[in-house]
Amino acid sequence: MTQIPIIMPQLGESIAEAAIINFLVQPGDTVEADQDLIEVETNKATMNVASPCRGKVEKFLAQAGESYAVGAVLGHLKVSAADAKKLGLDMPAPKKSNEEETSFQTEKKSSANGENKVKPTIRGLPVPANAAGASFMSPRMKARMHELGLHAADLAGIAGSGAAGRLTIQDFEKFLANLEKQKMSQASSMRVAVADAMRRSWTRPLATVGLSVCLDPLFAFRKVAQPKPGPALTALRALALALAENSAPAGRLVGNKIVHPSSIDIGFAVEAEDGVLVPVLRQADQRLLKDLVTPYNELVELARQRKLPTDATGGSIATVTNFGTFGLEWATPIPLPEQTLVLGMGAARRAPHWDVAKEQFVPVMQANLTLSFDHRVMDGGAAGRLLQRISELLAHPEKL
């Protein structure tokens, strides 16, 4: 009989480790090929480690409740020489030097005590098994970047020449020298502020879902309403009501807690000179749509003049943006750093819609709604349900 290792397999392309939940067999048990031996849990699912061939479980080195890296030896099987050869595990171990032998014995002793386990750096977040230190920056590099007011995102396009693709100070200085040869212009304070906000927002895992909605009821209502609300304001009011029903999607993840908003304050994006401003309508869920039209229009004008009062900015829990004003049908807007989600509305377009009563296609005005959100706070299902609820509310604008 030949002894072969039971190895923690690669359970997914982005999985670097898994935790032992349960041992499905015991030392001394005879197992068949592909029989499940150990139940393990990754950040994504519960899976099993199977036997590569028929054999007898000699011992387990792993311990329940501990995490082990991909490739770690979890135990040993005794198998036939033919099976070991078939698996390519019949090669004799290379002869080690005295120093290597001592190191090997130390590692073997640690393994026997269960000390070969790894502790996850961040539990629940998949780390690519082949990740290298390409993002490493020396203190000298960081000091130079701080001196010039640069961020890591500014250097994303530089190919590092150091070990494992690391960016060296020589690479950095060469990059700066090449910049001096290019045409450059000073970025406005507005553009720098927007860039900083988006850079901070992008440190989170963001996702977007979309839904096509019929706007015929909205346009019909707008013809008779006084004052007349625009599509963006109507969507803002629908979002406010949907979040009033369930505020969790607009909550912020702080540590292991979801912090729910204390007030449904919704912002809306207004294009200003060389940037975007986000004025805020406070307690939008408690004010009727008709009562929001005038303050909304006033804030739009103040934003375009860049004269927004302090109490009309900041503190919002979500943003509405109407990218349809630029003729765009689809976009993936980014939530502000202090927000979890942003609702986007695309340009309305005439499209065929199947009328069940008439049993024929009829033309309707449709637009795409998109919801970009912090994936740490909610998943696609919750985002989809929120978007569906907004769509339902938009179908009856007279009730807003």
For the chain, counts of helices (H) and of strands (E)? 9, 19
Q: Which residues contact residue 318 at a Cβ distance below 8 angstroms, ignoring those fewer than 6 apart?
A: 239, 243, 250, 266, 267, 335, 339, 340, 341, 342, 343
As given in the structure block, the two tokens for residue 90 are: 């019949």
Mean pLDDT, rounded, for 2-10: 88
Does 175 score more than 90 pLDDT? Answer: no
166 vs 52 pLDDT, higher one: 52
Domain 2-112 belongs to what architecture? Beta Barrel (2.40)
Nearest CA to 8 out of 44, 41, 35 is that of 41
Sorting pLDDT into bands at 50, 70 and 90, what band is 383? very high
Tell me how far apart the alpha carbons of residues 231 and 368 are, in angstroms, rounded to a whole number. Answer: 12
Q: What is the pLDDT of residue 280?
A: 93
pLDDT of residue 100: 41
Quick one: pLDDT at residue 78? 92
Domain ranges within the chain, ordered by starting residue? 2-112, 139-184, 202-399
Question: What integer is the mean pLDDT of 56-70?
Answer: 89
Apex 94 CA angle, 91 and 96, nearest 5: 155
Can you give the length of the chain in residues?
A: 400
- State the chain's mean pLDDT as an integer: 81
Mean pLDDT calculated for residue range 291-306 = 91
Sign of the Cα pseudo-torsion (358, 359, 364, 369, in order): positive
DSSP-based three-state secondary structure for 305: coil
In the predicted structure, residue 109 carries a pLDDT above the cut 60: no
Say if residues 68 and 118 touch (Cβ distance below 8 Å). yes
Of the ranges 110-119, 127-136, 149-158, 211-220, which is most confident?
211-220
Least-confidence region, from 85-94, 163-172, 279-288, 319-328: 85-94
In angstroms, the CA 286 to CA 397 distance is 16
Percent of the chain predicted with pLDDT > 70: 83
Query: What is the spatial distance between Cα 5 and Cα 7, in angstroms, rounded to a whole number?
Result: 6
Tokens of 362: 């009829």
Cis peptide, bond prior to residue 227, ω within 30 of zero? yes
Report the alpha-carbon distance of residue 269 to residue 342 in Å, rounded.
10
Q: Express each pLDDT in 338-381 by its tens digit.
A: 888 999 999 999 988 888 888 889 899 999 999 999 998 888 99
CATH of domain 139-184: 4.10.320
Give pLDDT tens digits for 18-50. 889 899 999 999 999 889 999 988 755 678 899
Main-chain dihedrals φ then ψ at residue 47, nearest 5 degrees: -135, 175
Check whether domain 202-399 has CATH 3.30.559.10, yes or no: yes
* Per-residue pLDDT, 165: 61
Q: Nearest-CA neighbor of 70 among 110, 127, 124, 3? A: 127
Cβ count within 10 A of residue 25: 16
Return the H-helix or E-strand segment holding 179.
helix 169-179
Q: Which of 182, 173, 166 is nearest to 134 (CA)?
A: 166
R_g over Cα of the chain: 29
pLDDT of res. 231? 92
Backbone angles phi, psi at 52, to 5 degrees: -75, -20
pLDDT > 90: what percent of the chain?
Answer: 38
| Residue 312 DSSP symbol | G
**pLDDT tens column, 85-105:** 887 776 554 444 444 444 444
Q: State yes or no: pLDDT of 131 exceeds 70.
A: no
pTM of the model: 0.60
What is the longest distance spanned by two Cα atoms in the chain?
91
Q: How does pLDDT run across 230-239, given as a tens digit for each residue?
A: 999 999 999 9
Sign of CA dihedral 214, 217, 218, 220: positive
**Do 56 and 10 contact (CB within 8 A), yes or no?**
no
For 303-322, what is the mean pLDDT? 87
Residue whose C-alpha is closest to residue 320's, from 357, 265, 380, 381: 265
